[in-house]
């Protein structure tokens, strides 16, 4: 019995309209899995991140089935309409207008290909933050910032002019009483 050479992953109830999600799906259809990941990582669209997560899930499913993740191509990606959430917005004179919040169901099918046309794109993962290594924000300025502030103060004194951008000058102008 021959091992199946395709993997399916589904994402349901994605809060992105199907029309907008299909724009992302059309970009990666037919690409190798590595190229599709690179395209989705660089995508500015909101649907890119959930579809990228779905693609990574499908690749993980392929690894579980002992398939080569570098030989996978996006054979099929389908974006179907999910249920709409119906909301109402009040309008003038007691009227209401309907708002429909669309959802999508995304299905991706990866298949092992003998001839994968990869562009040789190297994908780098974002470094993960370690727990407890976050820097605490302090309100104190560093020595470098203090030195820069002292220098700018000396320059103002040397010029001998009052700058309009000086906070005190603006305060005096706007506190004057009108007659």
**pLDDT (tens digit per residue) in 116-157:** 655 555 566 667 777 766 555 555 555 656 566 565 555 555
What's the half-sphere exposure (Cβ side, CA atoms, 13 Å) at 4?
Answer: 10
Within-domain flag for 151: no
In a domain, 55, yes or no: yes
* Spatial contact of 50 and 62, defined as CB atoms under 8 Å apart: no
Residue 123 belongs to a domain: no
Domain extent, residue 41, equals 6-112
CA-CA-CA-CA dihedral for 170, 172, 177, 179, to nearest 10? -80
Instruction: List, edge to edge, every strand of the sheet that includes 6-14.
Output: 6-14, 104-112, 72-81
Give residue-wise pLDDT tens across range 34-84: 999 999 999 999 999 999 999 999 999 999 999 999 999 999 999 999 999
Is position 160 within any domain?
Answer: no
**DSSP output for 52-121:** HHHHHHHHHHHHHTT--GGGEEEEEEEEEE-PPEEEEEE-GGG-EEEEEE--EEEEEEEEE-SS-----P
Confirm whether 179 is domain-assigned.
no
pTM recorded for the entire structure: 0.64
pLDDT band at 1 (very low <50, low <70, confident <90, very high): very low
> Is 134 part of a structural domain of the chain?
no
CATH of the domain at 57: 3.90.470.10
Asked whether residue 56 is assigned to any structural domain, the reply reads yes
Question: What does the mean pLDDT of the chain come to?
Answer: 82
Question: Does 174 reside within a domain?
Answer: no
The total domain count for the chain is 1
């Amino acid at each position: 019995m021959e091992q199946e050479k395709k993997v399916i992953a589904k994402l349901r109830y994605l809060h992105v309209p199907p029309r907008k999600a299909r724009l992302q799906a059309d970009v990666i259809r037919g690409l190798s899995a590595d190229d599709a990941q690179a395209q989705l990582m660089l995508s500015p669209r909101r649907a890119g991140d959930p579809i990228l997560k779905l693609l990574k899930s499908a690749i993980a499913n392929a690894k579980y089935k002992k398939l080569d993740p570098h030989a996978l191509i996006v054979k099929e990606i389908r974006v179907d309409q999910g249920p709409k959430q119906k909301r109402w917005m009040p309008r003038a004179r007691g009227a209401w207008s309907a708002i429909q919040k669309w959802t999508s169901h995304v299905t991706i099918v990866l298949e092992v290909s003998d001839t994968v046309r990869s562009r040789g794109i190297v994908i780098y993962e974002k470094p993960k933050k370690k727990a407890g290594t976050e820097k605490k924000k302090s309100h104190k300025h560093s020595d470098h910032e203090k030195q820069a502030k002292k220098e700018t103060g000396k320059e103002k004194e040397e010029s001998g002019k009052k700058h309009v951008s000086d906070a005190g000058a603006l305060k005096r102008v706007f506190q004057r009483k009108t007659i």
